[in-house]
A and B are shown apart, each in its own frame.
Chain A
Amino acid sequence: MVEFTLWDILRNLLLAARWTVGLSLIAFIGGGLVGFALLIARLTPSQGAHRLVGLYIQLFQGTPLLIQLFLAYFGLALFGIQTSAWTAATLALTAYTSAFLSEIWFGCVASVPRGQWEAARSLALTFGEQLRHVILPQALNIAIPPTVGFLVQVIKGTALASVIGFVELTKAGGMITNATFRPFTVYAAVALIYFALCYPISLTARALERTLHAAHR
């Protein structure tokens, strides 16, 4: 019988945490790109695009991430695509992240005064130029703190990928529990590793928000 020391448990959890970090980054970057495309679609004058993006956001914000993961996992297989937990998790988390980020960013763009749009238009800038040179640079400042804050939600969201069998921190915790019969220690360690990942990001988001408010005062 192999004995597991506390160090063995911690070392294996930390190795698994790399997958949590990797999945979080992919979902965050992928979700950011899709979310940005959704944002642009929502800023164009097309009513149809507005309604479609609205529906997309409502669907992903109004249903559990866990169910979205199940749908990606079983749905892809239905269309004859070879699914792994990895592709399903990436797809579902990217879609989920994009819905939230585009909603956050839309709020930031909406907080840029209307006069800025009108002034840009009166200078005969095209829609693309208005966004690039006038609106987005101003919105970007406001958008950074909540975007950084949302990264915490993405990291916590990746924990659900364990349910469809993706071996990241939470799943590794379950597997190590089954091998060691020490659920208290293992899950406490898992929680602390998540905390060590998320808390610095939360603090950064809060500090960024404070500087932003100070700049506006």
Chain B
Amino acid sequence: MTALLLNILIQGVLLGGLYALFAIGLALSVGVVRLVNIAHGDLIVLASFGLLWLTQYAGLPLWAAFLALVPVMSGLGYGLQQGLLRRVADKGLLPPLLVTFGISIIIQNGLLEAFGADTRSFASGALQTASWRLTEGVYVGALPLLTLAVAVCLIFAIDRLIYASHFGARLRAVSEGPATASLIGLPVDRVYGLALALVGATISIAALFLGLRMNFDPLSGPARLIVAFEVIVLGGLGNLWGILAGGILLGVAQSVGGAVDAPLQVLAGHLVFLFLILLRPQGLFRKN
């Protein structure tokens, strides 16, 4: 019995690593640019399809495809800010949300046209099935563990970037006071653009592990957005490590739900999320 519970817990924590990866980009986007990007999940899926195209049709090995994709997604993020979002930033609450909503639908249907509705995933060979046995009946998969490790490293790296670098100081400045920032001559739009470029890079990482660990299809973006959203609301936006905590909480909730009855997995996550909003809408972590 304890083995079962331990397994559920471990799987939940490991799943949390993947969910944290989904959420990092959204957290940056919300925290710095103040944008809840409705197309966030779709961008992850887009990147996954990009990796798919590069590996299947262009014949690149996965690592090379990933390296090629990062600058593309970063450029896409930068272009999204400078090309579109900048123009609607001062028009109020709704326009940026509606623009990203439109982009979400465009991406989904564009992918449907280009790739069809089948679900896809990446093969990773031995890594996919490798696992360690902790004790009787309790296993830790290599790939999920790697995912969690990558999430931790990425959060650490971004935390250092934001709090210990000059670029990070600029990010924090425009996040805290965009009006003041322009008054003192900071190129606010360019800083936003670079922030979204960083988001694009994190999306590439999330896409890699999405494809390795789960299936994806053109319409699976919104589900990823909702996961990312739940993670950052659960963790609160004050602290980057809250993303990890939120991810793990969601992962464990889903893991428990899934153990009770497979279709309950996603629902369990939603219910925990809604329950927490009721109790503590500001999330688990207070601001730094």
- Is this pair of chains taken from one and the same complex? no
Residues of B within 8 A of A (CB): none
